[in-house]
Each structure stands twice: as C-alpha cells, then as structure tokens.
Chains A and B, each alone.
Chain A
C-alpha cells in the first residue's frame, strides 16, 4: 500500500497536465464560440472531465506532499489553489449547463468567470512549478540587477578564504565545512525544501539528521551517509549532490570526511585539531600566473585568423578558456617588418608573440607597441639592436621580452628603465660582455645576461 501511495504521488506531475490541457482547450473553444454559443454542450463536458482529473491531481498531489518531505508551508498555496481549481471546473460545467438557476454565479457574466478561471489555473500551475523547480527557477536566467530589483534573493555562495597566515586560526566548521555545505547542499536541504527531511544549514539540523538517520556519526566517516554518499561516483543514484548540480571538489569532500573523523567539532580551529596544511592547500588563494591579461576579451574574427594562418604564422588560443592568442613565426622564418600588417586585425587578442629567428628589425618595435595586451614577446635571434625598445613602455601587460642572441647594443640598456610590469628580459649575447643577472626598475625586472659557463673541475677527469 505504501508503495502504491508513493507511486501515485510520483504520478502527480503527469496527471496535473490533464486538467490544465482540458481547461485551456475549453477556454479556447469558449472564445471561438462567444457569438453563437452553440457548443456549450461540448465545452461543459470538457470542464466536467477537467474536474474529474483535477480531483485526481489533488489526490496524487497530496500523496506526493506526504511522500517527498515538503513542508506544509511550502505547498499550502499550491494545495489550496489546486482544490479551488478543481471545484471551479464543476462550477463552470454547471454554469454552461445552465444548472445554476438563481444563484449569484448565474448572474455573473460568463466572460468574467472564464477570465477568473484562466487566472486560477495559471496561478496554481505556477505555484506547482515553484515547488518542483524552485521559486527562482524562472528568475534565474535574469541578470542579477533585475533579480534584486524584483526583490529576489541572489543565492550567496560562501567563499572559503584561507591564507598562509590565517589557516591555523580558522575554525574548521565555520570557515571550511559550513561554506562547503552551504555551496553544495543547502539549496535542497533547507527549511523550505528539506529534501529527505534533512536540514544542512545549521548545526542542529546536521546533528538531528533526516529520514535516513543518522547521516553523520562522529569519528566514523565511513559510517556517515553525509560523507559516503558524496564519495560515490556521480553516476550512482545515491550520489549527493545529484548529478547536474554543481559538485564539490574532491578536496572539499575529503575535508568533510576529515571533519567527521576528528569528532565533528563545531568550534575548534584547524590548528587546535592539528590538521595538515596540505589538506587545505586547494582553498588557498590561487597565485597562478597566466600569460595573458586578467580582463576577458572577445574572440578574434575567423577571417582574420585565417589570414594570419595563411601567411604561414602559427596561431592558437592560449587555452580553451581564453580568447587571447599565441602567435608564433616558428614555421615562417621569412617574416619581415611588413608582414606585421596582417597581425593588425587581431592586435587586441595577441598576448604571446614569438617572432624569434625572423627577419624583423628595429622598425617593428613601434608596431609591437600597438599590441595593447602583449604579455610575452620573443624577438630572440634577430637583428634587433634595442634602439626603440623604450617604445614598449606603453604596454602595461608586457611581462617578458626575449632578446637573446640579438645585436642588442650596450648603450640601449638604459632604455629598459621605467617599464612598469616587465619582469624578465633575456639578453644572452656574448658581445654584451655581461654575465649572470641584474635587477632593474626597483627590482621588478630581472635582466638575464646569461653567458654562463661551468669552469672545469679537478673531478671532471677522475675516472673511478
């Protein structure tokens, strides 16, 4: 019997669409029939059946409410408006059959009732949708500004911020575990939805567990559903969060396990618990350097890309997650200053440019200065003397210039002063007669002269 109840409950989303369809077709027919009123018989029959199915929908809906752990608060509007809709079906049936002789309803014009009916079915349907898909389902695709203007709460993801300084004093639950649960579990396990009657937004909720109690057992992650079900493969039916929802990282899941294993502490700090730093490494701010500016950019036009490729240059986006390009003349040693023309159409997208080993001269520097997002420049193994190299100062992202094996002149070294973000300059060139590295621009820039050697040692010739 229990199984049957549950099954019928699950049929609710299917059955509700019958009365909805019937009512809509009835209303449409009413519009067509508004002058002649010769189809009242058919329309009333439609409403009668809409009523029967609406009752069935109410019953299955109630069973679903019982079976799937919704709180009464979250379903009550839908429940009552559903019942009213069902009753209204019979009312419309009676009205069209002229069965109501002298009541208030019989005096109300049909068109008013029909409009009311339409409003009612829309409202009920919308309420139902809110329950299954979430109240913000329709609003979600809207931009945040419109959302907040409409008075909707924007889902707040809690960021986990650990640093080299504060990680030991951070409270394991408040600063790490709670944000993980908040970001990945609470959207279903909150007082409104309470899937599986489980609330994960508070300490009390976690300890109380839901219908499959207990979800958590101190010191035993392997016996805690909260942890084991997150660990299951995503394809598994029991995996949480369900496939399709954003998944916590494996480091986050591991930490949930560590938290349980260490006795479910709600107030101890990471340091007090004596946990290893490596467990939290993935939550430290990422210092990953990328070889392109931080601001996003639109993709280069396909035609321009084709043109650049056609002259023999190599070109690829730096990664699949950016539109910034890496352009290389590796297969085009004949590249000259005039070939730069072709690059103009993709100028904003170029972040890495490798013109090493080509025919370019000092004249190209002023062209290079027009590439606003240039981050890494390689003009090694060319005839560049560095005469106009100071023109590149205007490039605020330029981080590295490779000038090794060029004709770079000693007197142009001063022109490397005053660069703002330049980190490295490669100037390996025996004729400069300099060795090792030198700092420039208050230590921001490392000049690498190279010219290294490994002087012979006595041990070089000892053979054992």
Chain B
C-alpha cells in the first residue's frame, strides 16, 4: 500500500519533470535573466492593475481574472452605457446625403481648380478631374433645419434626434487602412478596436451574451477584415463576436448529434478545471480568455438563438424596420442591434458593405446604385432611432453613423478617362458623420465645409476627436484610459483627440 503511494508520488514528480525538458532548461538559461528584467517592462500578463478588481483571497484569482467581462465602473459619470455603431463600409457620399453644396451644382462639369489638387493624393483620380454637382435634391428638415437629401425620406422624420459632424477628416484614402483607423485609432494592424476598449474598460452586464457583437450586411465583410473588431493587444476575450443574421447566428452553436447538453456541460467543466491549473502555473491571461470563452459559448447556446430571433417581434415592429427574416440585411441587423442593447450588450457594431460609389458601373453610380444603398438603410436606421426612443433606450445608448472617409466633389476619372457612370473617388478631407442618443445634443450640427465640400473650413474634427467623444460619453477620459503594452501605455486616441463639446447635451 505504502509502496503504491510512493510510486504514485514518484510518478507525479516524474510527470512534472517531464514538462521541463533539457531544451526548456537551456532555453530558460538564455532567456531567464533577460526575462526577469523584461518582466517589469512587458506587462502583457497583467491585464489589470490589482487595485481595480476585488481579489479573491481563497483562490488568488480576481473577479476580473475569472470573468474578464465582469463590469467595472467608469471613472466619471457616464451619459451612455451602450453603443450601436453603424458603419457604411466603402464610404458613403456625404454630398448625396447630408452635406448640401448648391455651389457645387453650379460648377458641375467644370474642371477642378489646380490649387485644390496640389499635394493631394487620390486613389483613382488622375490628371484634372471635373466637378460633379450633387446628384440628389436637398431640403432643410425638422425643427433643427438640418439638411437631408431626398435619398433618405424616412430619416427626415428623425433628423431632430441626431447631431451632425459635417467636417470630419481622416488621413487615409484607402478602405482597409481607413477602416482600421476609424475603428482602432491606427491605420496599421495591431490596435484594439473601440468596442474592445469599451468592453475591456466597462465589462458587460449580461452574463449570457458577449459584450461586443458584430453584425455585417451587404454581402461582404469590411475591407480591413476582422481586425476592425479585433482586440489587438488587449486580451482576446474583448474582441467582437460576429453573429450572422442568416442561418445559425453563431457557427456550430447547435449540439452535435448524439451529444447531450449534460455531457457537454461536464466536458467544459473538466476542461476549465485543467485550464485553471494551467493559469495558476503560467498566469497567461489568454488561458483565462479561453476558460471564459468555453463558458460563454455554453451559455450562449441558449441565449443567442433567443436574442437573435427576430420572428418573435410583433408585426408592426418588423414592418417599421422593414426586416426580411431569413436573409442577411441591414434592416434585420438594426432590429437585432436594438434587441442586443436591450439585453445589455455593451457594444454593437454594424457593417453594411457596398457604399464605394466610384461609378465604374450602375451599381456604384452616385445617381443609381448609391440611391439603392440609401433606400436599404433609410428605413431601418430611422426605425432604430424611433424604436430606441420609445423604449427609453436612447437615453443611455449612443448611436454613431459614418463611413471610413467621404467622397470627392469631383467626378472620378479612372485612368484619366471620362467614365460612363457618375461616381466619386475616396476623399478624407471632409465627410459627414452623425451621433444620436445618450449625452448628444439633439438637432445639433457642428462643422462646415467649403463651398464645394472639399475641405472643412470650420469645426474640423479628426477621427481621434470622434473616439475621444465616444469614450467621454461612456465616462472615460481618453487620455487616462490606457493599457500597458510593449513597455508603454497605449491609448485609443494615441497622442491626439479632443472631446467635441459642441455636440454634447
């Protein structure tokens, strides 16, 4: 008997030693000392300062360790607690939607002055392009008297709910980098997206749903790929979870044939026990992310199909949004966004693809395809605002609308040739975004562009300013909200960004 126990102990020791091979040892000799020194510089394995979380003395885990989505209070009183971000991927034309330029109509088909082109880079425009007047009629709408084009007839009814930013600018003129910039604060890969920052900073209230959900429509994913909802250097548990509005909302969410839920539950429990042991050995936050993702996936199996099912909504709601059950559509996604926010999801990100109106064919012409795109979003986004409003959700939900940049007042002349359809090239100097909801001044309009809408002349705001404002509304000082990585604190707004007070209530 005693012999057996000794054997077992010896076996255990042997197993432990086996995990340390000769190679491990030699490797550690080389890196061990440097590692000690670097440990204090690279703080990647310490996702949160201990002061922010309640340490559990019995297990040595903090609440945030075991549940990285456990909620935290923001440093300052927030005006919004959830965000719905509507991104029109491909960059919508502000000149056919919100930025009314009567002067541009008069200058239609005239050559663009050289002074505007000097030192500028365009994606496709070459030589001297011609100006292209607005391809829509505009009217001042609502009590605010803000301009909205006829492309958005339903939106006119909610125009008093939103605050426009008419002179946003970006320094990127290609979709991928510009989308990354718009969502991560940097045109290069590797930074966390806004939704990741927000869920990292605030956690998420609903235990059964992810804190950051992404829904796409328009047939294609954004050009920048999934990095626009990636977690960058933040623990990967904070990355966006992409849900589908067609078919299973999350892939492989159904139990496989012959596997009961109980068996699955026990399996996950066992796996997590092992993973917790691994964590206590290596303290790698990625292990915690994995533990949490197993548990989340299990809970999501019930909760997600329920929240992602729009069929249970009353007909008048479905009609208001114009949903098409069973299809992948922006309307479905808007209704889902409301349902998700209602259920406490922190950040909902919608991407709608198909706004790249170059005029290479009818579907990308500003007077044809663009009108179709406008129609596709007009009813759903107006319905979203009204629905949030009547449910009292607009009080603490921030809705942001925009693209990655705007479009040129000049007609695109790809390869220097005149094109058959009317289109506009990428343009980062001035474009329109709007925000609505928690803490936003209703009916405001900030910023102005020049007579032809080429550049902002007043109230220019940068992408960093937009980010600073979003974080401000959620209760953060964007300059203090940092994450230590590679030896220095990182911010969403890098070293720039100023809160746009003009649109705050």
Asked if A288 contacts B153 (CB within 8 A), the reply is no
Q: Is A319 an interface residue (CB 8 A)?
A: yes
Q: Kindly supply a per-residue 1/0 record for chain A positions 50-86, scoring 1 wherever the CB is within 8 Å of any chain B CB and 0 otherwise.
A: 0000000000000000000000000000000000000
Q: Is B372 an interface residue (CB 8 A)?
A: yes
Q: Is B311 an interface residue (CB 8 A)?
A: no
Q: Is B157 an interface residue (CB 8 A)?
A: yes
Contacts of B207 on A, CB cut-off 8 Å?
331
**Residue of B76, B322, B387, B505 most packed against chain A (CB within 10 A):** B76
Binds A, one of B164-172, B173-181, B237-245, B390-398: B390-398
Chain A interface extent, by class: 35 or more
Asked if B501 contacts A281 (CB within 8 A), the reply is yes
Asked if B390 contacts A319 (CB within 8 A), the reply is no
Asked if B391 contacts A380 (CB within 8 A), the reply is yes
Asked if A453 contacts B375 (CB within 8 A), the reply is no
Q: Is B71 an interface residue (CB 8 A)?
A: yes
Asked if B206 contacts A454 (CB within 8 A), the reply is no
Taking the nearest CB of chain A, how far is it from the CB of B69, in angstroms?
12
Asked if A448 contacts B389 (CB within 8 A), the reply is yes
Q: When the two chains form the complex, which single residue of A319, A452, A464 contacts B368, counting CB atoms closer than 8 Å?
A: A464
Asked if B382 contacts A454 (CB within 8 A), the reply is yes
Q: Is B359 an interface residue (CB 8 A)?
A: no
Asked if B77 contacts A290 (CB within 8 A), the reply is yes
Contacts of A380 on B, CB cut-off 8 Å?
391-392
CA distance A378 to B369 in the complex (A): 43
Q: When the two chains form the complex, which single residue of B76, B343, B387 contacts A452, counting CB atoms closer than 8 Å?
A: B387
Known: A282-B501, A316-B73, A454-B157. A448 touches B78 (CB 8 A): no
Known: A318-B73, A320-B73, A322-B77. A454 touches B390 (CB 8 A): no
Q: When the two chains form the complex, which single residue of B73, B375, B389 contacts A317, counting CB atoms closer than 8 Å?
A: B73
Contacts of B344 on A, CB cut-off 8 Å?
328, 330
Taking the nearest CB of chain A, how far is it from the CB of B219, in angstroms?
16
Q: List 16 A-B contacts (CB under 8 A).
A: A281-B501, A288-B79, A291-B77, A316-B72, A316-B73, A320-B73, A321-B76, A330-B205, A331-B205, A426-B392, A428-B391, A430-B316, A448-B389, A450-B389, A451-B390, A460-B375
- Interface SS majority for chain B: loop
Q: Report the nearest B residue to A449, measured CB to CB.
A: B390
Q: When the two chains form the complex, which single residue of B78, B150, B362, B375 contacts A319, counting CB atoms closer than 8 Å?
A: B78
Q: Is A457 an interface residue (CB 8 A)?
A: yes
Asked if B206 contacts A330 (CB within 8 A), the reply is yes
State which residues 364-389 of B face A: CB under 8 Å: 367-369, 371-372, 375, 379, 382-383, 386-387, 389
Contacts of A289 on B, CB cut-off 8 Å?
79, 505
- Residue ranges of A at the interface with B (Cβ–Cβ < 8 Å): 278, 281-282, 287-292, 314, 316-322, 328, 330-331, 378, 380, 400, 402, 404-405, 424, 426, 428, 430, 448-454, 457, 459-460, 462-464
CA distance A401 to B438 in the complex (A): 16
Asked if A454 contacts B383 (CB within 8 A), the reply is yes
CA distance A239 to B322 in the complex (A): 59
CA distance A172 to B362 in the complex (A): 57
**Nearest 9 A/B pairs, CB to CB:** A450-B390, A426-B392, A428-B390, A452-B386, A402-B392, A290-B77, A464-B368, A317-B73, A464-B371
Q: Is B487 an interface residue (CB 8 A)?
A: no
Q: When the two chains form the complex, which single residue of B322, B390, B459 contacts A426, counting CB atoms closer than 8 Å?
A: B390
Q: Is B47 an interface residue (CB 8 A)?
A: no
Asked if A320 contacts B368 (CB within 8 A), the reply is no
Q: Report the nearest B residue to A436, measured CB to CB.
A: B390
Asked if A424 contacts B153 (CB within 8 A), the reply is no
Taking the nearest CB of chain B, how far is it from the CB of A200, in angstroms?
26
Q: Is B218 an interface residue (CB 8 A)?
A: no
- Interface SS majority for chain A: loop
Known: A282-B501, A450-B391, A452-B386. A321 touches B320 (CB 8 A): no
Taking the nearest CB of chain A, how far is it from the CB of B488, in angstroms?
13
Contacts of B395 on A, CB cut-off 8 Å?
400, 424
Asked if B392 contacts A321 (CB within 8 A), the reply is no
CA distance A321 to B76 in the complex (A): 6
Contacts of A451 on B, CB cut-off 8 Å?
390
Contacts of B390 on A, CB cut-off 8 Å?
404, 426, 428, 448-452
Q: When the two chains form the complex, which single residue of B77, B154, B368 contacts A454, counting CB atoms closer than 8 Å?
A: B154
Contacts of A287 on B, CB cut-off 8 Å?
505
Taking the nearest CB of chain B, how far is it from the CB of A13, in angstroms?
32
Q: Is B319 an interface residue (CB 8 A)?
A: yes
Q: When the two chains form the complex, which single residue of B77, B79, B208, B369 contacts A464, counting CB atoms closer than 8 Å?
A: B369
Asked if A320 contacts B502 (CB within 8 A), the reply is no
**Residue of A288, A405, A452, A462 most packed against chain B (CB within 10 A):** A452
Q: Report the nearest B residue to A462, measured CB to CB.
A: B375
Taking the nearest CB of chain A, how far is it from the CB of B476, in angstroms?
10
**Residue of B75, B362, B391, B505 most packed against chain A (CB within 10 A):** B391
Q: Is B142 an interface residue (CB 8 A)?
A: no
CA distance A456 to B292 in the complex (A): 45
CA distance A282 to B392 in the complex (A): 30
CA distance A428 to B316 in the complex (A): 13
Q: Kindly supply a per-residue 1/0 record for chain B positions 301-341, scoring 1 wherever the CB is within 8 Å of any chain A CB and 0 otherwise.
A: 00000000000001010011010000000000000000000
List 4 extra interface pairs beyond A287-B505, A292-B77, A448-B389, CB under 8 A.
A317-B73, A320-B74, A400-B395, A402-B392
CA distance A115 to B380 in the complex (A): 88
Asked if A330 contacts B392 (CB within 8 A), the reply is no
CA distance A449 to B343 in the complex (A): 21
Q: Is B475 an interface residue (CB 8 A)?
A: yes
Q: Kindly supply a per-residue 1/0 record for chain B positions 47-89, scoring 1 wherever the CB is within 8 Å of any chain A CB and 0 otherwise.
A: 0000000000000000000000001111111110000000000
